[in-house]
Amino acid sequence: MSKTSVYLAHHRDGRPSFERFYGQAPAVTAAGCLIWRMKQDELQVLIIHRPNYDDWSWPKGKLDEGETIPETAVREVREEVNLKVTLGAPLAVTEYKVKQGTKHVYYWAAQLPAGAEAKADKNEVDELRWVTTAQARKLLTNSSDVLPLDELEKLHKERDLATRPVIIVRHAKAKPRSTWSAAEGERPLAATGKRQAMAVCRLLEAWGPQKLYSSPWTRCMQTIAHYNRRTGVPIKTKSAITEAAHKRRPKRAAKVVQSVFDKDYPVALCTHRPVLPTVLEVLAKNSNKHLASCLPDADPYLVPGEILVLQVSRRHSDRVVSLEQIKPFGD
């Protein structure tokens, strides 16, 4: 049985991390969000009532075949309460017994999008309420649903609930060097890589980067092209993070990576395996000791198409709140 992680998350202060392995899924996997807003300087969260279960809970639902867990969380929120959210910090994984066996539910924080209004899907939800966290504790039916609420409240008290993602993407699988005789920068994705690139696009949509930085080499551009076409988010090429330029001047590549931390909007950066050691050095410098120790530390660091997501506090711009590592395909 494989021990390769498909999903891995860490909190900045060493609180329990969670990991999902290939071939070790529980009987049921689900995902959802604690959707939050500030109303007259008060934190409020959205809870739903499901008539089929007669319970109060968070918007969530089961993993579809071929889906990654983050995709599930975003899709279920859209289906149950008609909101298109982007994921914030990972909160908790709850575990309890159902008829089929053990059920795991993965939760993220998700801020109510500006100008959006929640609307219940009458097929599954007959009522929704914006409540304070204290009211939520009294209404929630399943005691385990308090766990992600604890994490949400902790982030709020630390003023780190509002975050933006910094996303690192290793380009998808390219055609082998041995079969390519043209310029190295023009080597394209293999058939497998093209499928991975589609999966990368779906994953990026869960975090909604508003700017894309990429090596101009073909395999990197192809990896994020689908997201560019679907969203209209422009790709800004950075020659310093090509393999060749990095080999000559790694400090210039490091400067590009550092620049994504100096922005105030969600950013994704796509580069090559040989550049990753420099990328990871910069990520470590911007993280505390605990999160720095959780970064990949052995070649190849990330498999083709794999991503790292660091949530950066909007209030404390020098503080990385969480670290996630996700492969771009379901299990």
The pLDDT tens digits of the residues spanning 185-206 come to 999 999 999 999 999 999 999 9
pLDDT given at position 330: 53
Dist. CA 302–CA 282, nearest whole Å: 16
Residue 152 in this model has a pLDDT that exceeds 80:
yes
Query: Going by C-beta distance under 8 Å and a sequence separation of 6 or more, which residues neighbour residue 139?
Result: 47, 56, 129, 131
Residue 316: pLDDT band (50, 70, 90) is very high
Would you say 169 and 161 are in contact if contact means Cβ atoms under 8 Å apart? no
Whether 5-157 shares its CATH topology with 163-326 is answered no
**pLDDT of the residue at 2:** 39
Q: Which fold has domain 163-326?
A: Rossmann fold (3.40.50)
Average pLDDT of the segment spanning 234-259: 98
Domain 5-157 belongs to what topology? Answer: Nucleoside Triphosphate Pyrophosphohydrolase (3.90.79)
Collapsing DSSP to helix, strand or coil, 222 comes out as helix
50-96 pLDDT per residue, tens: 998 899 999 999 999 889 999 999 999 999 999 999 999 999 999 98
- Which residue did the predictor score with more confidence, 1 or 218? 218
Residues 14 and 90 sit within 8 Å (Cβ to Cβ): no
Task: Answer yes or no: is pLDDT of 145 > 70.
Answer: yes
Tokens of 301: 């660091």
- The one-character DSSP state at 172 is P
Record the pTM.
0.95
Q: Where are the domains of the chain?
A: 5-157, 163-326
